Amino acid sequence: MEVQDKLNAVQRYVDAFETADINIIKELYAADATVEDPVGSDIHNGIDAIVAFYEGALSAGIKLQLSGTPRCAGSEVAFPFQVKGPGMSIDVIDVFKFNAEGKVVSMRAFWGPENMAS
């Protein structure tokens, strides 16, 4: 997978939140993908669990704003951004791992209470 393809996936992810479009999320993830948000919490396994997780965020009006340059290495991309919602913000770093087909097979979100602001 080329660097530009990974960067495009990051932008599509941000766009999904901007437009509240769950179909973009469905297109990004592999059927057997996992989401761990934040790292250390329960893992969402498979596309149905992942869609349910994101539907909650999208319905809450959460928006994402990139706060730095994505970094690509191997089959992964890490990117810093700020989650913005009603009365709160969170500084996050997500890491996507891609399969050979260019689908996200793992998303891990790094953030904790110290990264939250109101």
Residue 52: CATH number of its domain:
3.10.450.50
Active-site choice (13, 29, 54, 94): 13
Q: Decide: helix, strand or coil at residue 11.
A: helix
Residue among 45, 11, 15, 8 nearest 30 (CA) = 45
Token digits of residue 106: 């793992």
Report the predicted TM-score, pTM, of the whole model to 2 decimal places: 0.96
pLDDT at 85: 92
The residue range of the domain holding 58 is: 3-111
Q: Are 6 and 70 in contact (CB under 8 A)?
A: yes
Domain count along the chain:
1
Active-site choice (29, 37, 54, 94): 37
Say whether 15 is catalytic. Answer: no
Residue 116 forms part of a structural domain: no
Dump pLDDT digits (tens) for 64-118.
999 999 999 999 999 999 999 989 999 999 999 999 999 999 999 999 999 999 9
pLDDT bracket for residue 33 (50, 70, 90): very high
- Average pLDDT, stretch 30-56? 98
pLDDT bracket for residue 49 (50, 70, 90): very high
Residue 46 forms part of a structural domain: yes
Average pLDDT of the chain to the nearest whole number: 98
Say whether 13 is catalytic. Answer: yes
From residue 47, alpha-carbon distances to 8, 11, 24, 66, 108 in Å are 20, 20, 12, 24, 15
pLDDT at 46: 99
- Average pLDDT, stretch 56-65? 95
